[in-house]
Amino acid sequence: MVIYSLPRYQDFEHKIDGKKTHLFILRNRTGMQVAFTDYGARIVSILVPDKAGNLRDVLLGFNSIHDYLQADEQYHGATIGRFANRIAHGSFQLDGEKYTLQQNNGRNSLHGGATGFHTKVWDRRTSFKNKIDFCYISPDGEEGFPGNLKVTVTYELTENNEISIKYLAETDKKTVINLTNHAYFNLDGEGHGDVLDHILHIPADHFLPIDEHQIPIDQPVPVEGTLFDFRSPKRLSTDITKDDEQLRRGNGYDHTLVNNQPFSKIAASAFSPHSGIRLEVLTTEPGIQLYTGNFLSGKDIGKSGRPYPSRSAFCFETQHYPNSPNNPHFPSVVLEPGDRWESETIYRFCIKKEM
């Protein structure tokens, strides 16, 4: 049995591009502890009690900035921007003007490009006992995107075992934006084998099928009769290895499920029968990217000294749809000067006997 603990402050004291990095910790009265770093405005650890009262760290990640910088997978727990997920051919048009982005994923642009928000040292603006604000100003033209974009990400740990993430952004020039957090969860604890026994429940009636470049083909299609139907609780292992064109293209689940729930209702949940830990997601975003860690290579050794192979975690990335700048039918990702981009997601943890 692994005894999980938080990383040490001193292992996050480092300098990247001349800016100092740090570790920050929030705790609540029920014993939950969450660690963050300003490198990528990312979540580092989420310690929650399991059904036996033992703390488990349910988030994949590393013990030091050095390990984050060396990692094979760059996105662990990070804020993703300016544009989460893929933009086809690394280009889009706004008011007739063409913008060209770096193609860092085959012919796509992925997660804001190689020097996206996950690689920036964010400023910590304010801190309260249970809240932390990270702020970053992305200059006009950074990674090919127009407009000086000011972004604030506020994390709050509530007494209800919730991590709330609020995003706020403003621009001085018309631009596109899609922000998310790339938390990799394993509800048995990071480094604790695969997540195939986890039971998922997602009320989405529709999902976005993808082409061979992992770009949504067109409109959402009904999940009815597909392997993407999680409207009744379903073990992840049930369908994930079935012979299916969509699963082949994603190398597993790597698809947007269309969120049909208001912010007050659970948009997705996952439960581990072993730990008894359940994660509930509430969001204002129109989509949830269900990603089953298919491309995790096993090269990364995580916080408790164990490797992170394929399917050793899952992500519920709340966001707008991939490639939206090139698809006029998708909810708009355009941000105008004078408007505010506001979005909120809650990751809530609880203990259950069954799903």
**Two tokens, residue 55:** 């703390």
45 contacts ligand BGC (rule: CB under 6 A): no
- Assess contact for 11 and 23: CB atoms under 8 A: yes
- Check 143, 170, 285, 317 and give the catalytic one: 317
Stretch that binds ligand BGC, among 35-43, 205-213, 257-265, 288-296 (CB under 6 A): 288-296
Token representation of residue 246: 């969509």
Closer to ligand BGC by Cβ: residue 188 or 317: 317
Residue span 192-221 as binding mask against ligand BGC, x where in contact by CB under 6 A, dash where not: ----------------------x-------
Residue 4 CB-density burial (10 A; 0-12 exposed, 13-18 middle, 19+ buried): buried
Residues 76-95 that bind ligand BGC (CB under 6 A): 85
The reply on whether position 316 binds ligand BGC by CB under 6 A is: no
CB of 273 vs ligand BGC, minimal distance in Å: 26
**Residue of the chain from 152, 289, 318, 324 that contacts ligand BGC (CB under 6 A):** 289
Q: Is 321 in the site for ligand BGC (CB under 6 A)?
A: no
The phi, psi pair for 176, rounded to 5°, reads -120, 150
DSSP 274-335: TT-EEEEEEESSSEEEEE--TT--S--B-TTS-B--TTS-BEEEEESPTTGGG-TTSPP-EE
State which of residues 77, 314, 317, 346 lies at the interface with ligand BGC (CB under 6 A).
317
Task: Assess contact for 349 and 58: CB atoms under 8 A.
Answer: yes
Among 38, 170, 254, 280, binds ligand BGC (CB under 6 A): 254
Query: How far apart, in whole angstroms, are the C-alpha atoms of residue 188 and residue 268?
Result: 18
Please report how close the Cβ of residue 159 comes to ligand BGC at its closest, in angstroms.
Answer: 31
Active site residue 192: no
Catalytic status, residue 224: no
Note whether 297 binds ligand BGC by CB under 6 A: no
Q: Is 295 in the site for ligand BGC (CB under 6 A)?
A: yes
Catalytic residue among 182, 192, 255, 320: 182
Contact (Cβ atoms closer than 8 angstroms) between residue 171 and residue 140:
no
What is the total count of residues that contact ligand BGC (CB under 6 A)?
9
| 188 lies in the site for ligand BGC, by CB under 6 A | no
Cβ–Cβ < 8 Å for 306, 57:
no
Contacting residues for 323 by C-beta, under 8 A, at least 6 apart: 85, 86, 87, 88, 215, 216, 330
Residues that bind ligand BGC (CB under 6 A): 73, 75, 85, 214, 254, 289, 291, 295, 317
Residues labelled as active-site residues: 182, 317
